[in-house]
Amino acid sequence: MIQNPSFKEGGVYRSHELSADTFNPSINKLCFAFGNNVLFDNFSLELNAADNPLMLLGPSGCGKTTLLRLIAGLLTPTSGLIIAPKASFAFQEPRLFPQLTTLENIALPLEAASLSKAAALERARYFLDMVSLSDKAGEYPSTLSGGQAQRVSIARAFAYPAPLLLMDEPFQSLDIPLRIELMETLQHILNVVPRFLFAVTHDPREAIFLGKRVIVLGKTPNGLVFDETISLLTEDRVYGTDSPAANALERKLLRALGNRLNGADII
């Protein structure tokens, strides 16, 4: 779990405390490289509350995870300006502390956010219940299944008091039925405890299932090769649906990703 600094001098990176109802983060002329590998060169992106949830796709190595880390403040841009609220982060792996119980894993970053131990534990119990794991409060990560551990990770991300939730392919290692179950859990919690969700995925169907706006990064140095608001009906978003509208959108996303289907170009 992370919290951005409130302000970093020099104009390279600035994180402003924004509430959920005034959510308008932006990325302006972002430049970033690992050595000679330039990932972003004058990359800009404007967001607002109507884009929630925002799903990000792109080919492997294009910098999707790096972009989340830059927004979170875990990396510093070479140049450019990022304006964003404080954020919580759900990684690809649950990253639970093995020596702590599930309840303690959720409460720990809350104490770091200046909550008293009692308040942190109470808030942790609430979110553990939200992911239907109240009966696992006293158990350790080694006793949890992969899906249960990921539920704890999601609960921890929501428990942290931040308007922005960054998720980096949190369902990628799960089988399809469990992935759908956790996506439905995520949707339920978002309805009860609103956050702005900015999530990376490699799965177009997952993006269609969850997203209000979907963007696709091209090959490095990055620019957007796809940016569209999704206006599908709920029944058209169902994972595995044969909806013509959903299938057409999936094909557009696959074309943007540069994929091929059964050895033939997608048209």
Q: Decide: residue 149, CB within 10 A, 0-12 exposed, 13-18 middle, 19+ buried.
A: buried
Tell me how far apart the alpha carbons of residues 73 and 76 are, in angstroms, rounded to a whole number.
Answer: 6
Convert the pLDDT of each residue in 11-34 to its tens digit.
Answer: 334 344 445 555 677 899 999 999
Q: What value does the mean pLDDT take over residues 143-160?
A: 94
Query: Do 205 and 240 touch, CB atoms closer than 8 A?
Result: yes
Residue 223's pLDDT band (boundaries 50, 70, 90)? Answer: confident
Per-residue model confidence (pLDDT) at position 203: 93
Identity (one letter) of the amino acid at 256? A
Q: What value does the mean pLDDT take over residues 189-218?
A: 94
Domain residue spans in the chain?
Answer: 20-258
- Give the pTM: 0.87
Query: Do 92 and 173 touch, CB atoms closer than 8 A?
Result: yes
Convert the pLDDT of each residue in 160-190 to its tens digit.
Answer: 989 999 999 988 878 888 899 999 999 999 9
- Say which residue the tokens 């969700």 belong to: 197
Third-level CATH fold of 20-258: Rossmann fold (3.40.50)
What share of the chain in percent tops pLDDT 70? 88
